[in-house]
Structure 1
Amino acid sequence: MERKFGRYAITNLPLYIVVLYAIGAAFDILSGGVVYYQYLALNPFLILHGQIWRLVTFLVATPSTSIIFLVFVLLFYYSIGQSLTQVWGAFKFNMYVLVGILGTIAAAFIVYALTRNPLLFMDTSYVNLSMFLAYAAIFPEMRVYIYGIIPIKVKWLAILDVVVLAIGFVQGDMGTRISVVVGLLNFLLFYFSTRNYRRVSPKEVHRKIRYKRQVSRNSRGARHECAVCHRTELDDPNLEFRYCSKCNGNYEYCNEHLFTHTHVK
């Protein structure tokens, strides 16, 4: 599938997701949360009565109503999206988000068919949850800082989320159970189909980013790149480059860092 449709993948999808959430936050702040639920939220009853734009506009749901906390949340989701894109590739990350969105829409209509509740609203909570669980499965030891102060590993936050979902599944009604299943199903499908990614480390992701940057520069004709400052002869024609015989590997340095860098062992 990726060979056939990979060229249509949105390469910077995490940025677009964050922009949508920022737009939703602006609507919330300016209207006190009224605009989203009156005109934008996912509501099967209203969609079946002609408001089909809600199938798309529900994506602008803001993950937080606190401006200060919103900044941390948006940066966190952007970081998650970028990491998953680097590990999976843009196409698989696009598919992961798309399946989560379609699953949310399907869950909303299934719940509505069972309950006939005209006030049923759903947002992107389970899409966000599936993104976070995927990130926690790949980078379980990574630390996040709650409110920028309290460090905690993402695996513990993921376990807490799963426990809360399990309680909701046991104690909730049929609609809640369907929503929980859909929220976890997307994660489970991709997790078991990409299990070889579980042990990818942040250093490996950083190495891939550096490699792509180097390939991009080489495609423009650069033959040399400093391993410290990453400048090439295209950045400064006066730079001279040498390989270090004391480093373990083929590491090239510019004349400014040849004698000052830390040797790679």
Structure 2
Amino acid sequence: MNSFLNSLENRFGRFAIPGLVAILAIIQVGVWVLLRLSPDFRTTLFLHRALVEHGEVWRLITWVFVPQWESPIWLFFGVMLMLMFSSVLDHAWGAFRVNLYIFSGILFMILGHWFFGAVPEGLTLYASIFLAFCVIVPDFELNLFFILPVKVKYLGMITGGMALLAFIGTPEARSTIFFSHLNFLLAFVPGFIRWMKQRGTVVQRRARFDSAKPPEGTFFHKCANCGKTDLDDPKLDFRVTTDGEEYCTVCRPRKDLVEKS
């Protein structure tokens, strides 16, 4: 998969848009202002297959820009988070792979709407961006309620768990949940499976190594004269003499003297 992505990046990387997540966040601010001036403008942005087929093709992309926050305070903090996500993802993946992740997420949600009636929302796209951020920098801390520091990996687990529970318990929302997370699944599940396989291999090798260990208390060397073993004194050096017996470094000189006398 990496070699395939590398070949795509070598061929199309020059067309990638740097800071794409930040650009989406800034466009959301502009749309939020327009909606304050004309609330009815919102109805022209959502994706609707029948209206697209009647010529309103802009809906294929404008649904992404509909802000999820009514309050300017939440909009501000949401945009700040998106700017941070943009910086981290661009640094970790590079602009091309970030573009591929986001545009594939948009495409999957459009296909889900077109053929399965899934309801695409910008929030679900940004949720997949947040989950990617959680995987890439799991130990990064966010201040929950602006007070409590929490590592994002736990927030990601909660987000993923809630999506899974909704998928199981809400049949009518399954297509929406599936297609809105498909880009995340394709990006990270293969790597997770490889990690699990490698972990299983390591566990098996460790088990074989442990089973091959001699029982506790087993010695490898024993002096034929004093009876000491390498367990009694690990610093002792043992040598086999011409008579076929093994002697420690203390007893061997004595034996040599006895033989010479």
**TM-score tier (shorter):** 0.5 to 0.7
Distance in 1 (alpha carbons) for counterparts of 2:144 and 2:48: 32
The Cα shift of 1:151 comes to: 2.0
Matched, 1:177 2:174: yes
The Cα shift of 1:144 comes to: 1.0
Measured against aligned partners, the alpha-carbon deviations of 1:195-223 in whole angstroms (never above 9, x if no partner) come to 7xx9xxxxxxxxxxxxxxxxxxxxxxxxx
The within-5 A match list for 1:15-94 is 15-32=22-39, 34-36=40-42, 38-94=43-99
3-state SS, counterpart of residue 148 of structure 1: coil
1:189 to 165, 170, 186: 186
In the alignment, is the contact (CA less than 8 A) between 1:80 and 1:135 conserved in 2? Answer: yes
Measured against aligned partners, the alpha-carbon deviations of 1:64-118 in whole angstroms (never above 9, x if no partner) come to 1111011111010110111011000110001001101111111111233xxxxxx
Gaps in structure 1 of 5+ consecutive residues: 113-119, 199-265
Q: Aligned partner of 2:20: which letter? A: L
Equivalenced residue count is 186
Distance in 1 (alpha carbons) for counterparts of 2:148 and 2:12: 42
Q: Aligned partner of 1:187: which letter? A: F
The Cα shift of 1:123 comes to: 1.8
Distance in 2 (alpha carbons) for counterparts of 1:137 and 1:79: 15
In the alignment, is the contact (CA less than 8 A) between 1:29 and 1:65 conserved in 2? Answer: no
3-state SS, counterpart of residue 42 of structure 1: coil
The within-5 A match list for 1:138-153 is 138-153=136-151
The Cα shift of 1:167 comes to: 1.9
% of aligned pairs identical?
Answer: 28
3-state SS, counterpart of residue 67 of structure 2: coil
The within-5 A match list for 1:115-126 is 121-126=119-124
Measured against aligned partners, the alpha-carbon deviations of 1:216-249 in whole angstroms (never above 9, x if no partner) come to xxxxxxxxxxxxxxxxxxxxxxxxxxxxxxxxxx
In the alignment, is the contact (CA less than 8 A) between 1:18 and 1:78 conserved in 2? Answer: yes
In the alignment, is the contact (CA less than 8 A) between 1:69 and 1:147 conserved in 2? Answer: no
The Cα shift of 1:186 comes to: 0.7
In the alignment, is the contact (CA less than 8 A) between 2:106 and 2:125 conserved in 1? Answer: yes
The two structures, once aligned, show a CA RMSD in angstroms of: 2.0
The Cα shift of 1:54 comes to: 0.5
Q: Aligned partner of 1:6: which letter? A: G
Distance in 1 (alpha carbons) for counterparts of 2:77 and 2:71: 10
Matched, 1:156 2:158: no
The Cα shift of 1:28 comes to: 3.0
Distance in 2 (alpha carbons) for counterparts of 1:122 and 1:138: 25
The Cα shift of 1:125 comes to: 1.9
The Cα shift of 1:35 comes to: 1.5
Give the TM-score taking structure 2 as reference length.
0.66
Distance in 2 (alpha carbons) for counterparts of 1:153 and 1:31: 39
Give the TM-score taking structure 1 as reference length.
0.65
The Cα shift of 1:173 comes to: 2.8
Distance in 1 (alpha carbons) for counterparts of 2:16 and 2:54: 32
In the alignment, is the contact (CA less than 8 A) between 2:46 and 2:63 conserved in 1? Answer: yes
Gaps in structure 2 of 5+ consecutive residues: 1-7, 196-261
Structure ranking higher in helix proportion: 2
In the alignment, is the contact (CA less than 8 A) between 1:63 and 1:73 conserved in 2? Answer: no
Greater alpha carbon shift after TM alignment, 3-12 vs 47-56: 47-56
In the TM superposition, structure 1's runs of 4+ consecutive aligned residues that sit over 3 Å from their partners are 192-195
